[in-house]
């Protein structure tokens, strides 16, 4: 009863505030800023902030600015030109983020949605009545792209350009755009306040903007009092709106990181100590819950694990600036970055397991690729003195400089790089496995999603990808996860990209592994069991199952075994347990540029860019028929590409097992019938030797019943879908 009353009080209070503020908007005021902080005038406020040196993040801007700037130009000449080029575009009133345009006629369109091409009417944020259970037909408004503009991460470019050049015109543009935005959006009004996460991301950006711009007289004289008041009002809005009620996720982490940064950087605010105490209280609890013992994120998503890594990098810097030193952020950061290193390709590309959107805690490097984690690995190597993270980063990164200046680059250079001691690793808590033979020799790399699809509390950012895998050959992607594409612009496309049919798994009777919905982030729970994991000098083995089809009237239990041999071949064996007749579909989503073809022996040849390839051959004498179909791939949020997706389908009585071998082919290498037979026999011997406790297969084993041809009618009703 007490919980209900507390919730009712919160709702009534928020509704009353929304009604009051929709009638009387709260707008920042430079004079109020001075008086609220105990200064007699705005001039006194400016003088105070000009004199004080501490507290400070990125203190190189005060200690060794010119020396560090020279180091940046020497180390990253192309990046310096890119930053100034992007800042010049902002000075012209041009904003383009992830190839979406947010400007027209030299002015930023703060209310414009680039997907639906709509101008969003301004109202108090609570009255938008936005709900993830809404219908979202094709072409719907996508707030993710609006949120990206209102994080103000792009405005940090103006502060960076000022640091690199000392030119006040960048500060003039920054002052103009911040002032325009402040007057466009009273506190609590418009899409910038629709979700509290966006407020937190913007406050992080404003803290960074302040550090980069505070040495400018034009920023101090023309902008600082209004900036301070607007920042304080947003921080108060954030504090009142923390996402601490109900299931929690990366939202509340971001909110508390932002609140702590504001409290540390601006201790003059009367509420600063209260904000810091609340942020630390929540962070202690949430970091323990959201970062699992194996270093992965509890959200079942590599994209949001990357986001958490960025938050932890900020927390390490907060810890450096804080006198409390109360959070164990270093071990958390090391675990999260180490697991991302294992799950990523040799080029630092992170597979898109689960949702990958545009969420970032900061954006200081010039690249926009959300899947490239090398910037974060470099920052972690410098912060933690970690040799394996430096090995993964390959070289120093811009982010290291922007947080630590020339000293950070020197610290990175002094770390001795070497790969992790183990090439393969299972992450049982997060539900991922990375199979590779060597870090130094880029042979085959297999990453398997072997966990559930929901986070504690239900829903989240997982997809129907239990036992799905991605594959690299020689550092080149071959089999991929399709990614996310969209959240809100289309419910239909949202569900297509997170569906079973969009992943490299066995689909039974056309059914989803887990039920999708009712909302865009809801999905039913699926249990999994990891039966075996072994790493030795000859092979790496993985063996797991899931319960997604146990709900059928005739329950079905898919089990997947994988063996990566030291000869650089991969064996995949699927054992489908159950009773009765069922339709089984296997799909293999090829990376862009990979072209499949069927050989004379009925096996599959994947032609890779550059001329080499992969041979996929059945280890049974009777082969299903390959269908050279197509699928979808999203290289980044909001974009989709058609890709090849070879498929085969079997209508059979259960139980059944089917095994595939995947063998790399050199450029121009041809495989005739005799060679195929030899490879198949060798792989069968290896398979029987590597997986304990399962029935061996032989070269003469046939598939039960018959393969189902592509043009054959499929009548699947009544099978418990």
According to DSSP, the residues that pair with 534 across neighbouring strands are: 541
Question: Which of the listed residues 390, 421, 452 is the one where a domain comes to its end?
Answer: 421
Report pLDDT for 130. 75
Asked whether residue 342 falls in the same domain as residue 438, the answer is no
Report pLDDT for 713. 38
Percent of the chain with pLDDT over 90: 67
Q: Which residue has the tokens 């089999």?
A: 479
Asked whether residue 461 falls in the same domain as residue 524, the answer is yes
pLDDT in tens, 375-407: 999 999 999 999 999 999 999 999 999 998 898
Question: Which of the listed residues 396, 421, 446 is the one where a domain comes to its end?
Answer: 421
User: How many degrees, rounded to 5, is the angle at CA 712 between CA 706 and CA 715?
Assistant: 90
Q: How far apart are CA 257 and CA 259, in angstroms?
A: 6
Asked if residue 188 belongs to a domain, the reply is no
Q: Do 125 and 480 form a contact (C-beta atoms < 8 A)?
A: no
Taking residues 310-324, report their average pLDDT: 80
Query: For the chain, first and last CA: distance in Å?
Result: 40
According to DSSP, the residues that pair with 642 across neighbouring strands are: 632
Residue 714 scores a pLDDT above 70: no
Residue 698 scores a pLDDT above 70: no
pLDDT in tens, 511-524: 999 999 888 888 88
Report pLDDT for 720. 31
Asked whether residue 368 falls in the same domain as residue 497, the answer is no
pLDDT in tens, 65-109: 677 888 899 999 999 999 999 999 999 999 999 888 999 988 999
Residue 711's CB: how many other CB atoms inside 10 A?
6
**Which CATH number covers residue 442?**
2.70.98.70
Residue 462 scores a pLDDT above 60: yes
Asked if residue 526 belongs to a domain, the reply is yes
What is the pTM assigned to this prediction? 0.92
Q: Which residue has the higher pLDDT, 335 or 26?
A: 335
Structure tokens of 496?
A: 């297509």
Residue 659 φ then ψ, to 5°: -125, 140
Report pLDDT for 721. 31
Q: How far apart are CA 567 and CA 550, in angstroms?
A: 37
pLDDT in tens, 147-184: 999 999 999 999 999 999 999 999 999 999 999 999 99
Asked if residue 583 belongs to a domain, the reply is yes
Q: How far apart are CA 388 and CA 136, in angstroms?
A: 44
Residue 125 scores a pLDDT above 90: no
pLDDT in tens, 190-236: 999 999 999 999 999 999 999 999 999 999 999 999 999 999 999 99
**What does the mean pLDDT of the chain come to?**
89
Which of the residue ranges 110-114, 442-446, 697-701 would you say has the lowest mean pLDDT? 697-701
Asked if residue 366 belongs to a domain, the reply is yes
Report pLDDT for 21. 58
Taking residues 290-311, report their average pLDDT: 95
Asked if residue 642 belongs to a domain, the reply is yes
Asked whether residue 491 falls in the same domain as residue 375, the answer is no
Report pLDDT for 22. 63
Which spans in 130-247 are helix H? 143-150, 156-165, 168-184, 196-213, 217-222, 224-240
Q: Which residue has the higher pLDDT, 265 or 720?
A: 265
Asked if residue 337 belongs to a domain, the reply is yes
Question: Which of the listed residues 397, 421, 445 is the one where a domain comes to its end?
Answer: 421
Asked whether residue 362 falls in the same domain as residue 393, the answer is yes
Residue among 413, 429, 329, 331 at smallest CA distance from 378: 413
Residue 326 scores a pLDDT above 90: no
Q: How far apart are CA 519 and CA 568, in angstroms?
A: 42
User: How many degrees, rounded to 5, is the angle at CA 404 between CA 313 and CA 636?
Assistant: 50
Under the banding of pLDDT at 50, 70 and 90, the label for residue 709 is very low
Asked if residue 687 belongs to a domain, the reply is yes
Report pLDDT for 712. 38
Pairing relation of β-strands 604-607 and 595-598? antiparallel
Taking residues 417-425, report their average pLDDT: 96
Question: Domain range spanning residue 663?
Answer: 425-707
Report pLDDT for 18. 60
Asked whether residue 455 falls in the same domain as residue 406, the answer is no
Residue 679 scores a pLDDT above 70: yes
Tally of structural domains, the chain: 2
Under the banding of pLDDT at 50, 70 and 90, the label for residue 322 is low
pLDDT in tens, 571-622: 999 999 999 999 999 999 999 999 999 998 899 999 999 889 999 999 876 7
Quickly list DSSP for 353-392.
-S---S--S---SS---TTB-HHHHHHHHHHHT-HHHHHH
Quickly list DSSP for 299-347.
TS-HHHHHHHHHHHHHHHHHHHH-S-----HHHHHHHHHHHHHHHS-TT
Asked whether residue 413 falls in the same domain as residue 549, the answer is no
Residue 667 scores a pLDDT above 80: yes
Asked whether residue 450 falls in the same domain as residue 344, the answer is no
Q: Which residue has the higher pLDDT, 60 or 49?
A: 49
Under the banding of pLDDT at 50, 70 and 90, the label for residue 2 is low
Asked whether residue 542 falls in the same domain as residue 627, the answer is yes
Q: How far apart are CA 291 and CA 340, in angstroms?
A: 13
According to DSSP, the residues that pair with 90 across neighbouring strands are: none
Residue among 144, 149, 146 at smallest CA distance from 90: 149
Report pLDDT for 28. 85
Q: How far apart are CA 711 and CA 110, in angstroms?
A: 51
Asked whether residue 436 falls in the same domain as residue 366, the answer is no
Asked whether residue 530 falls in the same domain as residue 445, the answer is yes
Report pLDDT for 63. 65
CA dihedral 253, 255, 260, 265 (to 10 degrees): 130
Q: What order do you get walking across the sheet with 425-427 strand by strand?
A: 425-427, 432-436, 444-449, 469-473, 476-479
Report pLDDT for 55. 65
Under the banding of pLDDT at 50, 70 and 90, the label for residue 7 is low
Under the banding of pLDDT at 50, 70 and 90, the label for residue 433 is very high
Which residues contact residue 677 at a Cβ distance below 8 angstroms, ignoring those fewer than 6 apart? none
Asked whether residue 323 falls in the same domain as residue 367, the answer is yes
Asked if residue 546 belongs to a domain, the reply is yes
């Amino acid at each position: 009863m007490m919980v209900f009353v507390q919730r009712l009080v919160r709702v009534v209070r928020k509704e009353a505030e929304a009604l009051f503020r929709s009638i009387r908007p709260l707008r920042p005021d430079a004079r109020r800023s001075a008086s609220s902080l105990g200064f007699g005038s705005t001039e006194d406020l400016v003088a105070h902030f000009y004199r004080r040196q501490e507290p400070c993040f990125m203190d190189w801007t005060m200690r060794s600015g010119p020396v560090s700037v020279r180091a940046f130009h020497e180390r990253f000449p192309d990046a310096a030109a890119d930053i100034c080029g992007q800042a010049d575009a902002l000075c012209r009133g041009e904003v383009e983020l992830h190839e979406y345009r947010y400007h027209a006629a030299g002015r930023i369109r703060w209310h414009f949605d680039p997907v639906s091409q709509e101008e969003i009417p301004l109202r108090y944020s609570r009255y938008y009545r936005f709900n993830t259970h809404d219908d979202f037909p094709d072409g719907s408004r996508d707030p993710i792209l609006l949120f990206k503009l209102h994080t103000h991460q792009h405005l940090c470019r103006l502060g960076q350009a000022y640091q690199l050049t000392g030119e006040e015109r960048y500060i003039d543009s920054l002052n103009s755009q911040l002032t325009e935005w402040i007057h466009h959006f009273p506190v609590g009004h418009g899409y910038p306040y629709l979700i509290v996460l966006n407020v937190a991301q913007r406050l992080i950006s404003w803290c960074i903007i302040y550090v980069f711009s505070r040495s400018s007289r034009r920023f101090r004289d023309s902008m600082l009092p209004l900036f301070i008041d607007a920042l304080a009002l947003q921080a108060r809005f954030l504090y009142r709106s923390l996402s601490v009620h109900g299931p929690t996720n990366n939202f509340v982490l971001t909110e508390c990181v932002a609140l702590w940064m504001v409290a540390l950087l601006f201790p003059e605010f009367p509420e600063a100590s209260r904000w810091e105490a609340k942020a630390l209280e929540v962070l202690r609890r949430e970091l323990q819950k959201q970062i699992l013992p194996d270093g992965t994120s509890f959200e079942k998503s590599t994209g949001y694990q990357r986001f958490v890594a960025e938050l932890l990098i900020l927390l390490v810097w907060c810890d450096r600036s804080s006198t409390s030193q109360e959070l164990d952020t270093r071990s958390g950061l090391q675990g999260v970055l180490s697991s991302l290193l294992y799950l990523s390709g040799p080029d630092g590309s992170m597979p898109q397991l689960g949702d990958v959107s545009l969420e970032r805690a900061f954006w200081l490097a010039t690249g926009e690729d959300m899947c490239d984690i090398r910037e974060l690995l470099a920052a972690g190597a410098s912060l933690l003195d970690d040799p394996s993270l430096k090995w993964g980063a390959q070289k120093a990164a811009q982010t290291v400089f922007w947080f630590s200046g020339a000293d950070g680059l020197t610290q990175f250079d002094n770390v001795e790089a070497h790969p992790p001691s183990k090439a393969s690793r299972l992450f049982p808590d997060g539900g991922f496995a990375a199979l590779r033979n060597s870090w130094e020799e880029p042979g085959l790399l297999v990453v398997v999603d072997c966990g559930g699809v929901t986070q504690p509390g239900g829903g989240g950012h997982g997809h129907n990808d239990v036992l799905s895998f991605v594959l690299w050959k020689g550092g080149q992607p071959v089999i991929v996860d399709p990614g996310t594409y969209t959240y809100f612009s289309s419910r239909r496309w949202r569900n297509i990209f997170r569906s079973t049919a969009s992943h490299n798994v066995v689909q039974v009777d056309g059914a989803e592994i887990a039920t999708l919905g009712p909302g865009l982030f809801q999905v039913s729970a699926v249990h999994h069991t990891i039966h075996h994991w072994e790493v030795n000098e000859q092979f790496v083995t993985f063996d797991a199952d899931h319960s997604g089809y146990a709900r059928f009237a005739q329950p079905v239990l898919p089990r997947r075994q994988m063996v990566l041999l030291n000869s650089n071949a991969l064996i995949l064996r699927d054992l489908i347990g159950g009773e009765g007749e069922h339709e089984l579909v296997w799909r293999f989503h090829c990376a862009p540029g990979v072209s499949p073809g069927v050989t004379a022996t009925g096996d599959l040849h994947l032609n890779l860019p550059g001329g080499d390839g992969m041979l996929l051959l059945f280890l049974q004498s009777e082969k299903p028929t390959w269908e050279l179909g197509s699928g979808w791939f999203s290289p980044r949020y909001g974009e989709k590409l058609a890709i090849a997706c070879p498929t085969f389908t079997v209508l059979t009585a259960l139980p059944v097992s089917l095994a595939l071998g995947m063998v790399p082919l050199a450029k121009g290498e041809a495989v005739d019938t005799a060679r195929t037979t030899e490879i198949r026999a060798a792989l069968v011997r290896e398979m029987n030797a590597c997986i304990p406790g399962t029935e061996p297969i032989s070269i003469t084993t046939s598939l039960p019943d018959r393969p189902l041809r592509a043009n054959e009618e499929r009548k699947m009703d009544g099978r418990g879908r």
